[in-house]
Chain A
Amino acid sequence: MRLVLPPFMAILFGLTASFGQNKQLLYDFYEIPQSLMVNPGVKTMERWHTGIPLISGLSFQAATSGVTVNDLFANDVIDFTTKVQERVLNVMSRRDDFSSTSQIEGFNVGFRGKNRPDDYYSFGMYGETDVIVYWPRDLAILAFEGNGGPNIGRSFDLGDLNVRGEMVNVFHFGINRKMSNTLTVGARAKLYSSVFQFQSINNTGSFVTTQGEDNIYRSAIVADMELQTAGVEGFVDVLEEDTSTTRKDLTSLFTERTLLGGNLGLGFDVGFSYNINPQTTITASILDMGFIYQSKDVKNYTLSGSAITEGITVFLPEDVNDLDNDLWQQLVDDIEESLPYEENDTGYISLRPVKAYGSIRYDFGQGESRNENCGCAINVVSASNQEFYRNSIGGQIFLIKRPRGIQPALTGFYQKRLGRAFSLKTTYTLDKYSLTNLGLGLNFQAGPVNFYILGDNLLGYQNIADSHYASLQFGFNIISWNDN
């Protein structure tokens, strides 16, 4: 088990870090307690709930807006270099990205206030890994094709390098309050404990080789680039030591960082649900408005300046007395002086990727009364309370702040409730990763045990290697309904 756990955790925390973060299936799926995590103002019906530790909420998403695994690694007879040239270099733009996100709930508990039954409190802890790498188009072309031949005169944009990633443990506490029969609001405070973070997101500069003014070629570079890291060096140092205690040291460092021993930050979520009429509800939420102050184990790398060269130049008679034969090294030194590469340990603030959801839902198909064990004592509106409707249809919007701007997604959904025991939600989502994203979510309640599973982009499962987007969430909870 000890051998299995580290790779398993690496997969959970690492590979899953490239998903699009949109949880359109979970959003407003209020039968699932974890829907509070994407809208603290969602309608709550439970008396209390507790997630089964470590398996109450697991989500993994991976996305690519450009090339897929199958595009490159399908076992065909096409030369691999040709595939890279035709399917990556010639096609992908600087706005294409590879992204991944994962979340693992450590624990998640919620309960209704004794004195204020309109309030539902929830708290917990979850780990999240999030990585996004934009395709560094110009740098890739420079590496593959070089600056010579047809690329003489082409300006390579150094700002194409744009990457951000982090692993963070989040402690949270939220309050969900029913303000009236039509309005529920909620807020959640978050304390972030960073395991590591890195970002290189504000790079500018260019590199160009042209016909020279004096000599044959003239190369000019202007750069203002920085890679900021926090928490990375500590892990690298442990790995480089490579002693018999390396695994133990890694575990110890990881545990320390997750339990508030690393860089800390604050954030909050807000949200609401509002019934425009008994059958129509609008909701919205904003998540992860927060920051982490990265001050420990910081190492930043900078390349800033400008340089122009046309090789070694000698002008006679001016340079006739310059008898130093180390002109090449002098040239290299001059360039390095004009374009210094430096390291520093200056702290910095990293912003969390802010997310926003909004939705409108229309309920229809009135079903039988659900007064029994349904939480209606809390959320009762009238005899036509929306909880009595079997069906819902609506639309959602999702926005996330990415290093290169706000990334939107639009979702249409249909939800079916078959009593309290079972409900399902289907979605169709449009975003930069896929135009054919069909999702399906199931929520099953067997007595107090709740199980949910939400799968996205189901058509992609026909050939998962050719999918631009894959997402899976599932979890187990124990739920107690209001017993009055």
Chain B
Amino acid sequence: MRRYLLHFVCASLFLSLSISCSEEQNFDQFDDLEVTPLLASSILYIESTEDFINTSSVSGAFYSQTVNFDAFNEQFVSERLLEGIIIYEVENTTSKSINFTVEFLDEADNVLDVETFSIDPAPSGVLTREVAYGPAGKSLDILTATSTLRVTGSNLSDTTSTSSEPEPKFIFKSGAEFLFQLK
């Protein structure tokens, strides 16, 4: 009896441990893994008082600045950029008609793309624009080649009038949501 029990137990353990089985595994599947996060970030915010705009000459630029912008042309980013949008919001509570442009420049200062915003005096509400890049929009090459942004704000009205709005301002907002292929 003891011998049978011993044989049984040994056989059970041996079977369990040695003849254990496993479903077929395919570890090559890991190559198919796609990691594509959607990343969101603000880009540029410009706010100007009406008093400052009034200091500019008629039809002249009250602000012009060239801003180094390498966010998209870093190799790690440019190689993984799939698609996305840049969101602009422009609000004008001044008494001026404002023209605002954003130019995308490459390293040689060539203009790759331009976004122009013409906004009437208050009350003109908030102008919102979403510009798509990638398969359903503009070429991603614009972004990946962009090294500099040139922003220009121009007053298209007089330099003396003042808005009846409290704290009249011109506000430019921009942000981006882009899909990246991390793997």
Question: Which A positions have Cβ atoms within 8 angstroms of B?
Answer: 69-70, 72-75, 79-81, 84, 142-149, 151-152, 209, 212, 214-219, 309-317, 320, 323, 325-329, 418-419, 422, 424, 440, 442, 453, 455, 458, 461-466, 472
Contact of A144 among B10, B16, B35 (CB under 8 A): B35
B26/A143 in contact, CB under 8 A: no
A466 — nearest CB in chain B belongs to which residue? Answer: B23
B25/A73 in contact, CB under 8 A: yes
Query: Is B39 interfacial (CB 8 A cutoff)?
Result: yes
Contact of A320 among B22, B52, B148 (CB under 8 A): B52
Inter-chain CA distance A379–B99, complex, in Å, is: 98
Q: Given A149-B38, A214-B47, decide whether A325 and B174 contact each other with a Cβ distance below 8 A.
A: no
A217/B63 in contact, CB under 8 A: no
Contact of A70 among B5, B23, B47, B69 (CB under 8 A): B23
Q: In the complex, which residues of chain B have a beta carbon less than 8 angstroms from the beta carbon of A212?
A: 42, 45, 173, 175
Q: Given A216-B173, A455-B16, decide whether A328 and B71 contact each other with a Cβ distance below 8 A.
A: yes
A-B contacts, CB under 8 A, total: 182
Contact of B38 among A146, A216, A309, A442 (CB under 8 A): A146
Query: Is B127 interfacial (CB 8 A cutoff)?
Result: no
B67/A328 in contact, CB under 8 A: yes
A142/B41 in contact, CB under 8 A: no
Contact of B32 among A81, A310, A458, A464 (CB under 8 A): A81
B25/A74 in contact, CB under 8 A: yes
A418/B6 in contact, CB under 8 A: yes
Inter-chain CA distance A214–B71, complex, in Å, is: 20
Query: Is B136 interfacial (CB 8 A cutoff)?
Result: no
Q: In the complex, which residues of chain B have a beta carbon less than 8 angstroms from the beta carbon of A218?
A: 42
A442/B63 in contact, CB under 8 A: no
Inter-chain CA distance A465–B21, complex, in Å, is: 8
Inter-chain CA distance A422–B148, complex, in Å, is: 81
Inter-chain CA distance A280–B73, complex, in Å, is: 74
Q: In the complex, which residues of chain B have a beta carbon less than 8 angstroms from the beta carbon of A217?
A: 40-42, 175
A73/B29 in contact, CB under 8 A: yes
Inter-chain CA distance A65–B178, complex, in Å, is: 34
Q: In the complex, which residues of chain A have a beta carbon less than 8 angstroms from the beta carbon of B131?
A: none
A158 to chain B, nearest CB (A): 16
B32/A215 in contact, CB under 8 A: no
A322 — nearest CB in chain B belongs to which residue? Answer: B65
Contacts A80-B30, A316-B46 supplied; 9 other A-B pairs, CB < 8 Å: A74-B24, A143-B35, A146-B39, A212-B173, A215-B174, A312-B44, A316-B47, A424-B9, A461-B16
